[in-house]
C-alpha cells in the first residue's frame, strides 16, 4: 500500500524502511530537509493517491496537534490519519471526533519496539473503526513480528493500551534496577552481566529487558560512565492519573514514577527535612555541607 510518513526520526525512519522492505510505497516528510523526501506536507499529500493514508511519528503534544491539523486541512473525505506516537488517549479521542466531522478516518496506533524495531518488528496496538483498521492492516502486518499487532478497540483504545504498557514498563525497569543495585552493593564480587545472562536462561524473571541489561553490563560492568538521572516521557504519569480516576491501586507503577523524580535531585530538600527532624527529636547525627 501507499503511505505518507510524517516524522523521520529514529523510530519514524526505521518504520519507513521496514515498510519499504515489505514492498510498500512510502513517501516521507520531516522538518529536517536532509532526511525528507519532500519539501512540505502539501507536497507529501500531493504525491499520494486517494484514498490517502498519512501516518505521523512525531513527539506527543503540540507537535502532533499541529501536524494533524495541518495534514487534515490538506486531505479529503475518506482519507486516513494514523498517529503512531505516544499521545495521550484523551487527545486521541478528541482528535478522532474532530477528524470524523471532516469525513476523515483516524487510527491511534500505540507503538513499541524502540530502535530494534527495524529488524525485530514493532508491537502495534491500534484503535479505530473496523474500516480504518482494515485500511491500515497491511502496513501493520509488515511492521509487526508474527502476531505482533491487534485491533484493540475504538479510537483512543490504542493509545490507552500503550499508556498502560508503558506504566508496566516503568515498574519492571524499577524492579530490575533495585535488584541489580542490591547485587552491586553486596560484599560479593559479582559479575552483573553474567547474572543477567543466567537469569535469562529459564528463570521466571527472564525478558528482553534483561537481555538489554546483559548488554549494558557487558559494555560497562559498574555503569560508571552513566549518571543516575532518568527522564519520563509522560505515559507513566498518565497511567498513575488513570489509576486514580478509576480507583485502581497501582503502587508499584506510582512508586517507579516517583523514583524517576528522585533521580533528578542532586541533594533532595525532602531528605534534608528528614535529617533535620531526626536530629531534633532523637539527636541523630547529621552531615553538613
CB neighbour burial string for 242-274, b if at least 16 within 10 angstroms, e if fewer:
bbeeeeeebeebbebbebbeeeeeeeeeeeeee
Whether 141 sits among the annotated catalytic residues: the reply is no
Residue 261 exposure: Cα atoms within 13 Å on the Cβ side: 12
Whether 69 sits among the annotated catalytic residues: the reply is no
DSSP string, 232-274: --SHHHHHHHHHHHTT---HHHHHHHHHHHHHT-SS-HHHHHH
Residue among 17, 65, 169, 211 flagged as catalytic? 169
Alpha-carbon span 184 to 178, nearest angstrom: 10
DSSP string, 137-184: HHHHHHHS-TT-EEEEESTTHHHHHHHHHHHHHHHHHHHHHHHHHHHH
Strand partners, 2: 25
Grid cell in block for residue 152: 484493540
Backbone torsions φ then ψ of 163, nearest 5 degrees: -60, -50
Question: CA of 74: how far to CAs of 53, 132, 225, in Å?
Answer: 12, 19, 48
Residue among 162, 174, 214, 242 flagged as catalytic? 162
Task: Kindly list the catalytic residues.
Answer: 162, 169
Amino acid at each position: 500500500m501507499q503511505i505518507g510518513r510524517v516524522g523521520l526520526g529514529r523510530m519514524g525512519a526505521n518504520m519507513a524502511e521496514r515498510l519499504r522492505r515489505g514492498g510498500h510505497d512510502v513517501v516521507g516528510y520531516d522538518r529536517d530537509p536532509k532526511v525528507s523526501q519532500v519539501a512540505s506536507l502539501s507536497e507529501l499529500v500531493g504525491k499520494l493517491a486517494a484514498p490517502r493514508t498519512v501516518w505521523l511519528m512525531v513527539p506527543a503534544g503540540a507537535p502532533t496537534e499541529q501536524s494533524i491539523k495541518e495534514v487534515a486541512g490538506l486531505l479529503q473525505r475518506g482519507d486516513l490519519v494514523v498517529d503512531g506516537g505516544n499521545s495521550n488517549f484523551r487527545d486521541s479521542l478528541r482528535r478522532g471526533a474532530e477528524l470524523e466531522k471532516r469525513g476523515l478516518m483516524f487510527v491511534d496506533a500505540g507503538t513499541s519496539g524502540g530502535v530494534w524495531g527495524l529488524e525485530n518488528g514493532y508491537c502495534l496496538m491500534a484503535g479505530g473503526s473496523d474500516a480504518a483498521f482494515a485500511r491500515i492492516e497491511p502496513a501493520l502486518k509488515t511492521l509487526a513480528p508474527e502476531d505482533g499487532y491487534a485491533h484493540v478497540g475504538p479510537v483512543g483504545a490504542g493509545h490507552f493500551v500503550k499508556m498502560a504498557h508503558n506504566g508496566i514498563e516503568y515498574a519492571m525497569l524499577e524492579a530490575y534496577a533495585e535488584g541489580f543495585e542490591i547485587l552491586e552493593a553486596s560484599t560479593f564480587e559479582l559479575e552483573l552481566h553474567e547474572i543477567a545472562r543466567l537469569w535469562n536462561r529459564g528463570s521466571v524473571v527472564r525478558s528482553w529487558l534483561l537481555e538489554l541489561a546483559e548488554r549494558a553490563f557487558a559494555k560497562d560492568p559498574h555503569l560508571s560512565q552513566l549518571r543516575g538521572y532518568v527522564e519520563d516521557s509522560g505515559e507513566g504519569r498518565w497511567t498513575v492519573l488513570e489509576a486514580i480516576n478509576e480507583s485502581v491501586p497501582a503502587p508499584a507503577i506510582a512508586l517507579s514514577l516517583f523514583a524517576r523524580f528522585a533521580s533528578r535531585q542532586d541533594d533532595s530538600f525532602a531528605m534534608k527535612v528528614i535529617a533535620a527532624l531526626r536530629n531534633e527529636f532523637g539527636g541523630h547525627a547529621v552531615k553538613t555541607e
